[in-house]
Amino acid sequence: MCGIVGYSGPGNSVGPIIEGLSRLEYRGYDSAGICLKINDELQIIKKEGKLDNLKALINEQKPFSHTGIGHTRWATHGGVTTDNAHPHGNELFAVVHNGIIENAGTLKKELQAEGFVFKSQTDSEVFLVLLTKFYKQNNNTLQSIAKAFNTITGNSAFVIIEKASDKLYCLKRSAPLVVGDNKETREAFVSSDPFALIGFAPRIYFPQDAVICESIVTDIDVKINFYELDLSPSERYKFQSNAMTMDSTTKGPYEHFMLKEIHEQPSLIEKLAAYYIKNQGRQILDSLKSYRPTGWHLTACGTAWHAGLVIKNYLEQINRQSASVDIASEFRYKNPILNKGEIGLFISQSGETADTLACQELCKENGIQSFSIVNVEGSTLFRNCDQNFLIHAGVEIGVASTKAFSLQVLTGYLMSRAMEGTLDDPSLFKEIKLLSNRIGELCSNVESIKEVASEIYNKKGFIFTGRGKYFPIALEGALKLKEIAYVHAEGYAAGELKHGPIALIDEQIVNIAIVGPELFEKTISNIEEVKARKGVIVIVGPKGSSELEHLSDYYIGLDFEGLPNLSPLYVNVALQFLAYHIASLKGTDIDKPRNLAKSVTVE
Ligand code: F6R
């Protein structure tokens, strides 16, 4: 959610900032902007719309500057306009912001009453105005940053440059922020995501909340200073060498990152299984052997929440352990009952989702252990949890999550098998290999799904149904379709349809019905009910069934054989393809769907 990049060094800051923003554009693409210090003035170039609009302006002006900050926005306060685009600046400072200033409304009124004028409707400008006000009183940038930060509430990250120097300042509260440096080239960097710094900063630092970072580049060195808000030196940061590589940043032969990421799944599934069963990850899983917490609290958002629903099923059915799954934004405010001996399990691709992080904090405060299933190593969630189970998905750029879901579920399944003590059971590796092969077959044989997509893409609405372990897949299939194709879609437990939603059914409504080998007859009866009301029936079920062929208008036949536990993942990939091709026919921006951002760092 909002991408931030800052640079200070002997080179032209424009190159690394624009490259960084391009890598982060999937986090927000309502507008983009850059502020450069040129001839001792702070010059802002910003534009509503996608980053390409800003790039066009930059190509015309060809600016050169040793110090600058850039931002790609996902709007929270204030509409999508050029005025509301970041950076916000004045004669003294320029600021980029990711997050929300919760008391911005009150502060703005107070500042306006004091005579300060605002140029935008954003909460972010409140921070700039506060900073300027304090600086005019004390002439001290660090003190003014600390004071402004102490005045605001909410979770935010800020990067600040000033007219008076070439320093980069930044700080944050419960929002992602990383500082980097390159000692050889004497360059300093800041970003909301280490991904933006790959290839630029071999050394990176993760400051904790309320630590001010000050990057100073001199003729002989680059130095990062860390301060507490009382301006005493701080050691509350983590250093890491930046080992990330660039291979995930291109689409390769695929039209979209989403398609590339769907296709990556077979090999990532096998790699993850090898990592956890045979290689380094085995030790982490072995620590779960005979593990008996008194209960599990799974929390996550969106697609990761759906992964949690599948994992709950494993914990209950394989381990007979009780598990609750909550949407993080609900869990954190429901005064949950948390007892010693229970485990909080947080599922997140980014490891930066604000609501999920808040749930982890809550569990910690209540003295219960936190585990994560997470993709981004070094993310806030990763750093805050007692034990992390990495999903090793690589960078996921498509805003609609695909490969992360599969690998989250697989990791949960392997955790469950580890607790059961059956990681060495040959049937486990066999099932995973089979899953990878079946998904591989789907990837190379997607014509039939494409044909179905072409028959139904113009319909009014879509109801995805499934029972048991396929119910979370119905939810996930509907989410994927609505987010990238902008059509109304919802997921329902097949047996629940007659309790209300069946009223929606007519010939313009498509029922995407998942039929597993389990509860086969009962699921068929649910489909008959929809068919009787003239709904369009698409069945995703065991292949070669004349009954399903006869019942459906369109039939996506899959081979469920040999996948007793992992078939939900297989079905899900078929639905990923269906959503992708429907969206493609509708001509939407598949990798950057409207109104969305990849990582939701506001509550
Ligand atoms: C949907 C999607 C979102 C995320 C959700 C949680 O395709 O990507 O629903 O799953 O915002 O994000 P993470 O997993 O980063 O916590």
Domain ranges of the chain: 3-100+154-248, 251-444, 445-595
**pTM (predicted TM-score):** 0.78
Calculate how far, in angstroms, residue 140's C-alpha sits from the geometric centre of ligand 1: 40
Q: What is the mean pLDDT of residues 551-555?
A: 97
Q: Please indicate whether residue 258, judged by its CB atom, sits closer than 6 Å to ligand 1.
A: no
Q: Please indicate whether residue 398, judged by its CB atom, sits closer than 6 Å to ligand 1.
A: no
% of the chain with per-residue pLDDT over 90: 83
Preceding amide of 87 cis, omega within 30:
yes
Average pLDDT, the chain: 94
Q: Tokens 């990556």 sit at which residue?
A: 264
Q: Distance between CA 273 and CA 271 in Å, rounded?
A: 5
Q: Please indicate whether residue 597, judged by its CB atom, sits closer than 6 Å to ligand 1.
A: no
pLDDT confidence band for 600 (50 / 70 / 90)? low
pLDDT confidence band for 244 (50 / 70 / 90)? low
Q: Whose CA is nearest to atom 10 of ligand 1?
A: 303
Using one digit for the tens of pLDDT, what is the confidence trace for 166-207? 999 999 998 889 999 999 999 999 999 888 998 899 999 999
CATH fold group of domain 251-444? Rossmann fold (3.40.50)
Strands, sheet with 88-89, edge to edge from the N-terminal-most edge strand? 88-89, 93-99, 156-162, 168-173, 212-217, 222-227
pLDDT confidence band for 318 (50 / 70 / 90)? very high
Using one digit for the tens of pLDDT, what is the confidence trace for 338-391? 999 999 999 999 998 989 999 999 999 999 999 999 998 878 899 889 999 999
Q: Would you call 111 helix, strand, or coil by DSSP?
A: helix
Q: Distance between CA 375 and CA 307 in Å, rounded?
A: 13
Q: What's the confidence (pLDDT) of residue 593?
A: 84
Atom of ligand 1 at shortest range from CA of 600: 11
- Check for a shared fold between 251-444 and 445-595: yes
Q: What is the mean pLDDT of residues 472-491?
A: 97
Q: What's the confidence (pLDDT) of residue 242?
A: 74
Q: Please indicate whether residue 90, judged by its CB atom, sits closer than 6 Å to ligand 1.
A: no
Q: What is the mean pLDDT of residues 508-521?
A: 94
Helix H, strand E, coil C: the string for 498-528 is HHCHHHHCCCCEEEEEECCCCCHHHHHHHHH
Question: Hey, how many other C-beta atoms are within 10 angstroms of the C-beta on 254?
Answer: 14
Residue from 298, 353, 372 whose mutation best tests the ligand 1 pocket (most atoms within 8 A of CB): 353
pLDDT confidence band for 1 (50 / 70 / 90)? low
Q: Please indicate whether residue 396, judged by its CB atom, sits closer than 6 Å to ligand 1.
A: no
% of the chain with per-residue pLDDT over 70: 98
Calculate how far, in angstroms, residue 501's C-alpha sits from the geometric centre of ligand 1: 26
Q: Please indicate whether residue 380, judged by its CB atom, sits closer than 6 Å to ligand 1.
A: no
Q: What's the confidence (pLDDT) of residue 290?
A: 76
Q: Distance between CA 116 and CA 97 in Å, rounded?
A: 20
CA angle 513, 262, 578 (to 5 degrees): 30
Q: Whose CA is nearest to atom 5 of ligand 1?
A: 302
Using one digit for the tens of pLDDT, what is the confidence trace for 114-169? 999 999 999 999 999 999 999 999 999 999 999 999 999 998 999 999 999 999 99
Longest dimension (CA), the chain: 81
Residue from 600, 601, 603 whose mutation best tests the ligand 1 pocket (most atoms within 8 A of CB): 600
Q: Top-level CATH class of 3-100+154-248?
A: alpha beta
Does 80 have pLDDT greater than 90? no
User: What CATH number does domain 445-595 carry, 3.40.50.10490, 1.10.8.80, 3.90.100.10, 3.40.50.880?
Assistant: 3.40.50.10490
Using one digit for the tens of pLDDT, what is the confidence trace for 7-47? 999 999 999 999 999 988 877 778 899 999 999 999 999 99
Q: What's the confidence (pLDDT) of residue 30?
A: 86
| Cβ neighbours for 537, distance < 8 A, ≥ 6 positions apart | 510, 511, 513, 527, 530, 531, 551, 552, 553, 554
Q: What is the mean pLDDT of residues 388-417?
A: 96
